[in-house]
């Protein structure tokens, strides 16, 4: 609402500034008339027209702000619903995993007990490490893999947008085979020359306590400098880690490199490179 009244005030000031040079035409200098009687017919027409224009602009700004408020409210509702659904899916996954492990543990224990009872008459006993079996089961039950979303018909997975004058590189991520947690990545913009590699800039990509569930695309935006748009071939390195478990115990490294034409806002290709060698050359840990 503050922006509307600011625009309204500016329009009035512009009106006053516009008619000031015409004051001798629209206003009579006379001491015998009241102020409103000194305004000529042309002056009243000009004032009426100005109020029409100012009123029209005010109503247009008011309508635009209401539309923006409705849009922001709808986006907030959609984000809340998505977050709620992700939490429910996470709770369901954890509950299912715990139920399976509990059932396997019970079945395994009963099996060991039955085996020992059968072997007792021979003074033999069967033993095993149940703890190691359960640990292996936990590792195999969680098979999530963090990926940059693949290209699909009519949709880009990597693209540039301009939001309120700020250029942003958008990258869509997905999680395959399960949920990916504790995602912490760094994005490096690199120029390759005959002499080697040069880092043009970098930025963090972090989900904090957030996560990505399977079959859901999650977009992260990275601010880029205006002069980056002049480059036609830049290597973009995404490096960091994520975890396969909500506790953050199973840490998985993540590396991905692609070539991007910032001038044409176009992905060139995914770059096949020895990630560790590239990071060593750039002195990136």
Query: How would you write 173-206 as a 3-class SS string?
Result: EEEECCCEEEEEEEEEEEEEECCEEEEEEEEEEE
Q: Domain residues for 119? A: 96-141
At 141 the pLDDT is 45
Note whether 19 and 108 are same-domain residues.
Answer: no
Note whether 221 and 172 are same-domain residues.
Answer: yes
Q: What is the pTM of this model?
A: 0.51
Note whether 102 and 127 are same-domain residues.
Answer: yes
Note whether 236 and 137 are same-domain residues.
Answer: no
- Tokens, residue 81: 């619903």
Residue 81, domain member (yes or no): no
pLDDT confidence bin for 5, thresholds 50/70/90: low
DSSP assignment of 54-70? HHHHHHHHHHHHHHHHH
Note whether 60 and 22 are same-domain residues.
Answer: yes
DSSP letter at 259 equals: E
Strand partners, 89: none
At 248 the pLDDT is 86
From the CB of residue 192, how many other CB atoms can be counted at a distance below 10 Å?
15
Q: Identify the CATH number of the domain in which residue 161 sits.
A: 2.60.40
At 32 the pLDDT is 54
Which residues, at least 6 apart from 26, have a Cβ–Cβ distance to it below 8 Å?
Answer: 19, 39, 40, 42, 43, 46
Cα distance between residue 249 and residue 259, in whole Å: 33
Residue 82, domain member (yes or no): no
Among 220, 221, 204, 224, smallest CA distance to 212 is for 220
How many structural domains compose the chain?
3
Residue 84, domain member (yes or no): no
Using the predicted structure, report yes or no on whether residue 255 has a pLDDT greater than 80.
Answer: yes
List, for residues 31-44, the tens digit of each pLDDT value: 555 555 566 666 66
Residue 207, domain member (yes or no): yes
Which residues, at least 6 apart from 229, have a Cβ–Cβ distance to it below 8 Å?
Answer: 160, 167, 262, 263
Report the pLDDT averaged over residues 249-268. 93
Domain boundary among 141, 161, 194: 141
Note whether 201 and 221 are same-domain residues.
Answer: yes
Among 134, 126, 127, 132, smallest CA distance to 103 is for 134
At 21 the pLDDT is 60
């Amino acid at each position: 609402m503050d922006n509307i009244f600011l625009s309204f005030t500016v329009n009035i000031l512009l009106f006053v500034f516009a008619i000031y040079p015409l004051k001798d035409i629209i206003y009579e200098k006379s001491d015998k008339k009241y102020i409103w009687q000194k305004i000529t017919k042309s002056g009243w027409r000009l004032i009426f027209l100005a109020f029409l224009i100012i009123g029209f602009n005010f109503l247009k700004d008011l309508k635009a702000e209401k539309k923006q408020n409705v849009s922001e409210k709808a986006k907030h509702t959609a984000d809340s619903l998505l977050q709620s659904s992700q939490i429910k899916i996470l709770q369901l996954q954890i509950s299912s995993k715990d139920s399976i492990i509990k059932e396997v543990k019970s079945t395994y224990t009963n099996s060991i007990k039955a085996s020992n009872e059968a072997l007792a008459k021979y003074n033999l006993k069967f033993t095993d490490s149940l703890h190691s079996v359960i640990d292996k089961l936990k590792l195999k039950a969680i098979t999530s893999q963090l990926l940059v979303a693949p290209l699909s018909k009519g949709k880009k997975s990597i693209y540039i947008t301009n939001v309120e004058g700020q250029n942003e590189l958008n990258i869509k991520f997905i999680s395959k085979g399960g949920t990916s947690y504790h995602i912490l990545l760094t994005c490096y913009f690199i120029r390759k020359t005959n002499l080697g590699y040069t880092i043009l800039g970098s930025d963090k990509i972090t989900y904090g306590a957030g996560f990505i569930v399977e079959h859901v695309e999650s977009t992260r935006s990275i601010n880029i400098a205006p002069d980056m748009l002049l480059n036609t071939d830049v290597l973009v390195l995404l490096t960091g880690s994520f975890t396969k478990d909500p506790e953050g115990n199973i840490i998985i490294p993540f590396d991905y490199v692609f070539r991007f034409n910032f001038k044409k806002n176009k992905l060139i290709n995914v770059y096949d490179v020895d990630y560790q060698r590239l990071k060593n050359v750039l002195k990136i840990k």
